[in-house]
Structures are given as C-alpha cells and as structure tokens.
C-alpha cells in the first residue's frame, strides 16, 4: 500500500508538472538578438518589450539578448532566416547584397532634416512591396526602424564656408559618408571612434563625422572649434525585423499587441534622442564650438557633386538587378519633401 501511495504521488506530481509545463507553453516568448549594451540605439526595443507585456498581461514576453549572445551583429539577418530567434536588429550596410532595397536610405546627401522625418522615410520604404519582397527572402518582416541622426562634421581650425573649403581636408568618415566626402575633395581617414578625440586634437584629422551622441561619448566636442549643423551628409539604415513564420504563428490578439506597440516604442526612441540633443547643443556652447549652417544654394551644390552622381550609379546598379530603384529613390525624396 505504501508503494502504491508513493507511485500515486509520483504520478500526480508528474501530471502536475505536465499541466504546469503546458500552461507555461501557452505563453509566447520571443528572443531578440542585439549587440553591444543597452543604449539609445536600442531603447525602442526595450520599450516594445514593455508595451507588449503590458498589453497581454505578461502572456507575450519579448526577451532582449545583448552583446551578441545569440548571434554576431552581421549575422542577425541570417539568424532570422533560419529561425534561430524571433526578432533582431541589424544595419543594412553590414550586408548590402542581402538587402539592396534598404540601401536607398544609406545614399548620401538626401537632405533628411531630423529624426522624425527619417522615421517617416523608413516606414514609407518598409511599406513598399519590393522592399517587403526583398526582406521576405530571409523570412524577415520589417517591424520598425532605428533612425540614426545624420553624421555631421565637427572640426578644428578654419571652418568650411563653401564646397571648395573641403578640398584636401582630412576627415574621419567611414562607409557611404566617407565616399561622399571623397567626391567633394576631402580625404577620408580611417580612425577608430576611441581614437577620434586624439586625432582631431593633434591635427591628424581636421574633422570627424559622427552623430551627436557619438561626439558627446567620445569627447570630440571638447577638441573641436566648429560643427556643421545642417550638412547632413548621410546616416545608416538599421531596422528591427521579426521572423515572418513566428509572426504568423501569433494569435490575432498577440499580433495586435505587437503591432500597436510599435508607435509608442518609436516615440520613446525619439524622446530618448531628444535628451541627447538637450545635452549636445549646450555642450557645443560650453566648449566654444561655432555652429556652421550652409545656405540652401550651398547644400544643393553638395547634392549635385556628392549626392546625385552616387544616386545615379546606385539606380543603375540596382535596376540591373531587377529592382525598381528609381521608384524607391523617388519615394524617399518625396517623403522627405513632405509630398
């Protein structure tokens, strides 16, 4: 009898565990692959997780994994494609060949004035069928952008007043921004972010291309004497995507919770970056950094020399791949113009 009681208790415990496991399995948990540490660049994903949990009473959990714990940053899209995790952030320039349509917004001198406009541009692009098809090859559904501020220049010495003043200027500028600066006669120089302050302070470079938060973080603002507040040579496209399969498996209730969490998440991101600017401009003044504004005529000159030739070549190359490149570029330009 004693053995029977023990066996019965064990069976009950096993069944209880099964029921608990079943109950837990009914809750959906998604994993997000991120790199680095929590920062302004990831605040919208943090907010998205909070919003989704609140809207589903904790039944839909989105877990954030930093430091490349799930995947290397340049392999996040591949991870989504094979179902290694349900959500990820990546930058289009990491593998332009895998997401050519997204490189539309990586083009230089598009004239994006602020992050709010960048958000509108990104969502307009994400909603285009060709872009959705492009990402669909990787089982990826575009969820929301990570709009990066324009990489304006902070320099030391004589401030540029016109296009010709960049001739021969040594500039720390990488990627597309570096290529754009090269077309106007500047000399792009590869300097790591951590070396930027010393490089500009010592005169190794005359200017550094960073977004405002990076100028603050790496203290280049303390070594410079001028800042181009509206040159806006370019930035990078870094979307957050979800697995299409994982999204389709969600209940309508959970899909609705996720979709409706995007707007407050992006707004939180914008609010976070606004606080960065609240620190940045007073820091410019405190360090005696002069703000340089170029006229519309001068900006058009930059576009003509460092923008349009690169746009035209991009359209030619993308069209050769069967993509509606001209249509995508026009869509971006019209959105920037508020059309």
| 328 in a structural domain | no
Query: CA 146, 149, 151, 154 torsion: positive or negative?
Result: negative
How much of the chain, in percent, has pLDDT values that exceed 90?
Answer: 73
**pLDDT-derived band of residue 190, with 50, 70 and 90 as boundaries?**
confident
CATH (domain of 229) = 3.40.190.170
* One domain, residues 23 and 62: yes
* One domain, residues 170 and 100: no
**Angstrom distance (rounded) from CA 175 to CA 96:** 12
| 337 in a structural domain | no
Q: How many domains does the chain have?
A: 2
**Angstrom distance (rounded) from CA 76 to CA 90:** 6
| 189 in a structural domain | yes
Cα separation of the two ends of the chain: 83
* One domain, residues 113 and 240: yes
pLDDT given at position 1: 44
* One domain, residues 38 and 136: yes
**pLDDT-derived band of residue 174, with 50, 70 and 90 as boundaries?**
confident
pLDDT given at position 191: 83
* One domain, residues 18 and 81: yes
Span 252-294, pLDDT tens digits: 999 999 999 999 999 999 999 999 889 999 999 999 999 999 9
* One domain, residues 141 and 256: yes
**pLDDT-derived band of residue 250, with 50, 70 and 90 as boundaries?**
very high
pLDDT given at position 128: 98
| Under 8 Å between Cβ of 127 and 144 | no
pLDDT given at position 214: 85
| Under 8 Å between Cβ of 88 and 71 | yes
* One domain, residues 173 and 83: no
| 329 in a structural domain | no
Task: Provide the 8-state DSSP code for 204.
Answer: S
| 338 in a structural domain | no
Mean of pLDDT values over 102-127: 95
Look at residue 175 and tell me whether its pLDDT is greater than 80.
Answer: no
Q: State the Cα angle at 45 between 39 and 46, rounded to 5°.
A: 70
* One domain, residues 41 and 165: no
Q: What is the pTM of this model?
A: 0.83
Write out the H or E segment, with its range, that includes residue 88: strand 87-89
| 339 in a structural domain | no
* One domain, residues 191 and 300: yes
| 205 in a structural domain | yes
* One domain, residues 258 and 289: no
Look at residue 308 and tell me whether its pLDDT is greater than 70.
Answer: yes
| 63 in a structural domain | yes
What is the extent of the structural domain holding 202? 153-234+279-311
Taking only Cα atoms into account, the Rg of the chain, rounded to an integer number of angstroms, comes to 24
Span 223-238, pLDDT tens digits: 999 999 999 888 889 9
Mean of pLDDT values over 164-190: 89
Look at residue 309 and tell me whether its pLDDT is greater than 60.
Answer: yes
Average pLDDT, the chain: 90
* One domain, residues 228 and 307: yes
* One domain, residues 230 and 240: no
């Amino acid at each position: 009898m004693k053995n029977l009681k023990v066996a019965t208790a064990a069976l009950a415990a096993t069944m209880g565990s099964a029921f608990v496991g079943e109950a837990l399995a009914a809750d959906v948990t998604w994993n997000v692959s991120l790199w680095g540490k929590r920062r302004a660049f990831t605040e919208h994903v943090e907010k998205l997780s909070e919003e989704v949990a609140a809207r589903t009473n904790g039944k839909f959990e989105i877990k954030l994994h930093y430091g490349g714990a799930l995947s290397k940053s340049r392999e996040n899209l591949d991870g989504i494609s094979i179902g290694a995790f349900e959500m990820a952030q990546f930058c289009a320039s990491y593998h332009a060949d895998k997401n050519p349509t997204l490189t539309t917004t990586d083009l230089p001198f598009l004239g994006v004035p602020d992050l709010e406009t960048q958000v509108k541009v990104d969502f307009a692009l994400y909603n285009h069928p060709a872009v959705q098809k492009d990402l669909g090859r990787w089982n990826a559904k575009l969820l929301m952008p990570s709009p990066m501020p324009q990489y304006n220049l902070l320099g030391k010495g004589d401030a540029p007043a016109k296009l010709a003043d960049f001739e021969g200027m040594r500039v720390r500028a990488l990627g597309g921004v570096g290529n754009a600066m090269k077309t106007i006669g500047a000399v792009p120089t590869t300097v790591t972010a951590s070396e930027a302050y010393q490089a500009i302070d010592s005169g190794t470079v005359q200017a550094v291309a960073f977004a405002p938060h990076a100028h603050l973080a790496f203290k280049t603002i303390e070594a410079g004497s001028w800042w181009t507040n509206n040159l806006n040579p370019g930035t990078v496209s870094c979307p957050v995507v979800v697995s299409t399969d994982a999204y389709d498996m969600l209940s309508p209730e959970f899909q609705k919770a996720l979709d409706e969490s995007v707007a407050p998440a992006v707004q939180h991101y914008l609010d976070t970056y606004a606080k960065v600017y609240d620190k940045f401009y007073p820091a410019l003044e405190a360090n005696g950094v002069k703000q340089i504004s170029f006229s519309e005529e001068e900006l058009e000159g930059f576009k003509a020399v460092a923008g349009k030739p690169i746009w035209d070549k991009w359209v030619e190359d993308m069209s050769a791949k069967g993509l509606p490149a001209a249509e995508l570029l026009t869509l971006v330009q019209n959105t920037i113009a508020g059309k």
